[in-house]
Amino acid sequence: MSELRLFLLQRLSAAVLAVLVVGHLTGIILFTHWGLSAAEILRRVHSSLVWPALYGLFALAAVTHGAIGLRAIGRELWRGAGRPLRPHRHHLAWWAFAAHRLSGLALVLFLPLHFAALGQLVDQSRFDAFLDWTRSPVLKASEALLVAALALHLAGGLRLLALEFLPWSERQKSLIALSGGFAAAVSLLYLLWGAV
């Protein structure tokens, strides 16, 4: 596939994911606070065709976006572009790039585990036992890191979509700071309210 087609697919999947991830982050925080069970998820999925369709679209967009992202990371690592920090990279936009790559990598590595966990829904009692296991402090802390990565990748992605497709703004540094702040706020909200 041509670089142009891959780019369009990457940005299209990003735009779809941006909307779905806002919903997902809200759901994560609300349902971790209220408590989640296999019965609750299954009730929702069986209630109408909209939910399975949304989950299907979500999975498709995430897999597409992750695969194209991994290809870019692979090319950079293969050529040694990611070798130790060099002085020409000491500026905020490069750090924002690095944060977007690292958070993206964390999410794409987590995705198979996430799908495997959801696969246990076929056995409700097993899934609920799994949810109990994730309530340990260590798991909660790793979840908070994942929530931070998701929020950071969402905010960074929205910044990049704006940079590429909206009229140019000279406030790139402020936008980078804003996306970092958004990620920090969301993960604090998760830790201080959602996960309590």
Partner 1 sequence: MTVTEVLTVEIWRSGQSQLVAYQVPVRANQTVLDVVTWVQRNLEPELAYRYACRVGMCGSCAMLVNGKPRWTCRTRVEAVALDGRLEIRPLRNLPVVKDLATDMTPFFDGWQQADGRFEGQERQGFAAIPMENSRREAASAGIECIGCGICYAACDTVAGNPDFVGPAALNRAWTCLNDDREEKPAKHLAAIAEQAVLCHSQGSCRIHCPVGLNPTRSIAGLKKALVSAVLKGEL
3 touching partner 1, by CB under 8 A: yes
State the binding string over 94-113 for partner 1 (x if CB under 8 A, else -). Answer: x--x----------------
The separation between the first and the last C-alpha atoms of the chain, rounded to the nearest angstrom, is 47
Count CA atoms within 13 Å of residue 37 on its CB side: 5
Shorter beta-carbon distance to partner 1: residue 72 or 141:
72
> What's the min distance (Å) between Cβ of 177 and partner 1?
14
Contact residues for 130 (Cβ-Cβ < 8 A; gap 6+): 117, 120
Shorter beta-carbon distance to partner 1: residue 82 or 181:
82
Contact residues for 186 (Cβ-Cβ < 8 A; gap 6+): 25, 29, 147, 148, 151
91 touching partner 1, by CB under 8 A: yes
Count other C-beta atoms under 10 Å from residue 45's C-beta. Answer: 14
Residues 20, 21, 25, 28: is their CA dihedral positive or negative?
positive
**In the range 9-28, which residues lie near partner 1 by CB under 8 A?**
11
Q: Which of 75, 114, 126, 135 binds partner 1 (CB under 8 A)?
A: 75
163 touching partner 1, by CB under 8 A: yes
Which residues bind to partner 1, rule: CB under 8 A?
A: 2-4, 6-8, 11, 72, 75-76, 78-82, 86-89, 91, 93-94, 97, 160, 163-165, 168, 172
